[in-house]
Structure 1
């Protein structure tokens, strides 16, 4: 069986196993280590970070030629925008401000990112950064509400950066579109909860 099919099956199985309790367990621990592990403890956050990395790795920058390979700065623009806006959302959450419809919005980001990957949607860098920024504010807001301490915030930004980097590696594999379909299915499952 191809690796891409196995990956898709595993992600789909994870979506079926998703429950609200798995999505946001209690967070008694705080600090850098707790923050770094936080994006791994909820299926919604885990899949969103991986999906953002996968999708950003599959983008090309429109220029004088139809699509050219992006420069290092352009390759980092989308993950950097995601992390910056995640930090802004986390700061708002730490101050007690909650985005309305947060849980549904987070699940919707997982669904939409999966669809974008599965359908190989490409956007100009500015549009991709804006879209990922909105998605990241939601995820950051949830993190900030759950772990408002500064050391925890540094931890989940590091953990999220590592997941984005892992997603970028996955995005270069031939079966990334199958993974996108599985992520979309997981997002649909999360919305149904």
Structure 2
């Protein structure tokens, strides 16, 4: 129960999607990059959800590394000025779909799960790379991302199934709400 309350408190402390181009001025330092995933509800929920969902997958131990690796690739593309089409919509959909997967306790084979999580990470990384292109901010962002995905994994392992499913439903609703913003 304490872990569920901690996850809800983290989500409640987040603000609207600030991890995107034009969201506001950034100093582009390590601390700015580190704070970035904690201050945007879309990225916070996605990273926690990837970790939580991966904890319940049969071969899920590789999913966090896949997510972080592809997050880095997306960040590099964003830092190079490449922007994925429909980026904001895609990010909101990743949050919604991850929530649905958790709510349904869906299990996928390893390859489709890795491809899906990798695609999600590319989108999130692209948004981060567009907003925080400097190496110092990227390092901070990656450290925070690793912490959030690992934290989600701990929540996924330690939470009762019903609480995790309810959290997944709330994440899915949050993702759908982001689509209307």
Moved more, 170-179 or 139-148: 170-179
- Does the CA-based 8 Å contact 1:7-1:179 persist in structure 2? no
Unaligned segments of structure 2, at least 5 residues: none
SS at match of 1:107: helix
Residue aligning to 1:183: 171
**Alignment counterpart, residue 33 of structure 2, candidates 12, 35, 42:** 35
Q: Per chain length, whose mean CA-contact separation is higher, i.e. which structure has more relative contact order (CA < 8 Å, sep 6+)?
A: 1
Residue aligning to 1:137: 122
The CA deviation at 1:27 is 3.5
Q: Which has the larger radius of gyration?
A: 1
Give every structure 1 segment of 4 or more consecutive aligned residues whose post-TM-superposition deviation is greater than 3 Å: 2-8, 17-20, 22-25
**Aligned counterparts of 1:155 and 1:98: Cα–Cα separation in 2:** 21
* 1:159 lines up with 2:157 in the alignment: no
1:84-99 map, 5 Å: 84-99=69-84
SS at match of 2:107: coil
**Aligned counterparts of 1:185 and 1:137: Cα–Cα separation in 2:** 22
**Aligned counterparts of 1:181 and 1:23: Cα–Cα separation in 2:** 23
**Aligned counterparts of 1:152 and 1:23: Cα–Cα separation in 2:** 12
**Aligned counterparts of 1:104 and 1:151: Cα–Cα separation in 2:** 28
Cα distance per residue 1:23-64 (max 9 Å; x no partner): 654142212111111101111000000010110011114xxx
For the structure 1 residues 162 and 177, does the alpha-carbon distance in structure 2 shift closer, same or farther, using more than 3 Å as the test? Answer: same
**Aligned counterparts of 2:120 and 2:47: Cα–Cα separation in 1:** 10
Residue aligning to 1:59: 57
Unaligned segments of structure 1, at least 5 residues: 62-73
RMSD over equivalenced CA pairs, Å? 2.3
SS at match of 2:83: coil
